[in-house]
Amino acid sequence: MEQGKLFVLSGPSGAGKGTICKEIVKREGIGLSVSMTTRAPRGVEEHGRSYYFVSEEEFQRTIDEGGFLEYANIYGNSYGTPKKPVMDYLASGRDMILEIEMQGAFQVKTVYPDGILIFVLPPSLEELKNRLIARGTEDEREIQKRLQATLNEIALIHEYDYYVINGDLEEAVDRVRAIIVAEHSKVDKNIGRLTRAYEEEL
């Protein structure tokens, strides 16, 4: 069976990669990777669905075993993408999508170079600014700092395979879908399987 493909959706925060990711999972029936974390479950969060909730020791053991596609510590809690469930899923011939911040995306590409990196961009810094103002959690000075940080992140687009500008959600989702279809239409190392099928007919 042909190996599934791993698509990594990443980019500056506020660009809307989470929404695109959810839509792709819903419409395309593509698998969504579940992260491992050391933080406590909140509200209705379920183990193995929202996150794998583990102890500090188990998280550290997974790091030591080289068991993460990527991991990071955010505000004192550890988060990571365990490698095995993703690899098992791909081996079953199905695609998987991963939505992570940029440093994580680079780690994935290092550990699994076949991963396809998609950069999600806001349509403009102006639009991103409006979204941040509408959210109302940051003041003017913080927003200005965020925009500068976003610009620095956009400069890293060269590390990615594809980019998608998220102005209109439908259009952005359609573009990610097109990337998935096109990746499955590439003439790559799996093509021998296809040509053999024709050979066997004659």
Helices 17-28 and 169-183, interaxial angle, to 10°?
60
Q: What sign results for the dihedral spanned by CA atoms 127, 11, 169, 139?
A: negative
Q: By the criterion CB under 8 A, which residues form the site for a copy of itself? A: 119, 121, 124-126, 147-148, 150-151, 154-155, 157-158, 160-164, 174-175, 177-179, 181-183, 185-187, 191, 194-195, 197-199, 201-202
Q: CB of residue 162 vs a copy of itself: minimum separation in angstroms?
A: 5
DSSP lists the bridge partners of residue 78 as 73
Q: How many CA atoms lie within 13 A of 150 on its CB side?
A: 21
Shortest Cβ distance from residue 68 to a copy of itself (Å)? 25
Nearer residue to a copy of itself within complex by CB, 67 or 123? 123
**Of 76, 156, 164, 79, which is closest to residue 118 (Cα–Cα)?**
164
Nearer to a copy of itself, 96 or 179 (CB): 179
Beta carbon nearer to a copy of itself, 88 or 138: 138
